[in-house]
């Protein structure tokens, strides 16, 4: 079955197409008692290897839960664009650019890791607001290495929220120790 799946040239692989005549024969005969072991094996393979909707039935058996999902489903679920979701998954799973571009589906676990990473980033605008500075000053902090940033194939940069939080703690500690001489005067 793995070999049949790997031979697929479809942009959106699907188990009934990839397994071809074998699957269609088994679907027609899936109730025969002597085939139940084979039916269980093919069902498990299809659920594990392909995008499924939870209300789907494979060979007369229900799908136990979403194992894989299309990026369109992930987009609707998260509100993030497909291209950004792919880049986030590619980053957190350390995929090459080619592997990232070739993604056609995701898993709930991949999506959770990507969303957790995304939640740890801030836009330049929100970073500027948190630091009470201008976005160009945030860029200066990035250029000086005070804040780390990341890009996802666009001109937009995102700053690591934990860096911003650490900087705010350090500034608060400085403010608590007395006046700060920013221009050479007390």
What are the 10-residue block averages of pLDDT along the chain, 186 residues in total? Answer: 76 74 84 85 81 72 73 83 91 91 85 90 92 92 93 83 91 72 42
Euclidean distance between CA atoms 23 and 163, whole angstroms: 53
pLDDT at 10: 66
At residue 11, φ and ψ (nearest 5 deg) are -65, -30
Euclidean distance between CA atoms 82 and 85, whole angstroms: 5
At residue 31, φ and ψ (nearest 5 deg) are -90, -10
Tell me which H or E stretch contains 119.
Answer: helix 108-119
Euclidean distance between CA atoms 182 and 26, whole angstroms: 77
pLDDT at 126: 92
pLDDT at 183: 42
Residue 124 CB: number of other CB atoms within 10 A? 20
Please state the pTM of the whole predicted model.
Answer: 0.60
Contact 58, 1 (CB under 8 A): no
For 39-84, how does the pLDDT look when each residue is reduced to its tens digit (9 = 90+)? 888 888 887 777 766 567 788 777 776 667 888 888 887 888 889 9
């Amino acid at each position: 079955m793995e070999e049949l799946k790997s031979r697929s040239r479809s942009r959106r692989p699907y188990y009934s197409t990839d397994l071809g005549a074998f699957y269609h024969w088994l679907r027609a005969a899936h109730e025969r008692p002597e085939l139940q072991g084979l039916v269980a094996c093919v069902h498990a393979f299809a659920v594990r290897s392909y995008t499924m909707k939870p209300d789907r039935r494979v060979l007369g058996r229900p799908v136990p839960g979403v194992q894989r999902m299309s990026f369109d489903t992930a987009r609707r679920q998260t509100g993030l664009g497909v291209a950004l979701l792919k880049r986030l998954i590619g980053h957190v799973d350390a995929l090459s650019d080619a592997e990232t571009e070739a993604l056609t589906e995701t898993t709930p676990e991949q999506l959770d890791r990507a969303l957790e990473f995304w939640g740890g980033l801030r836009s330049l605008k929100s970073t500027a607001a948190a630091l009470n500075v201008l976005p160009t000053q945030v860029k200066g902090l990035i250029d000086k290495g005070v804040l780390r940033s990341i890009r996802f194939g666009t001109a937009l940069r995102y700053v690591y929220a934990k860096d911003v939080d650490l900087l705010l703690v350090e500034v608060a500690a400085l403010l608590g120790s007395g006046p700060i001489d920013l221009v050479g005067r007390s």
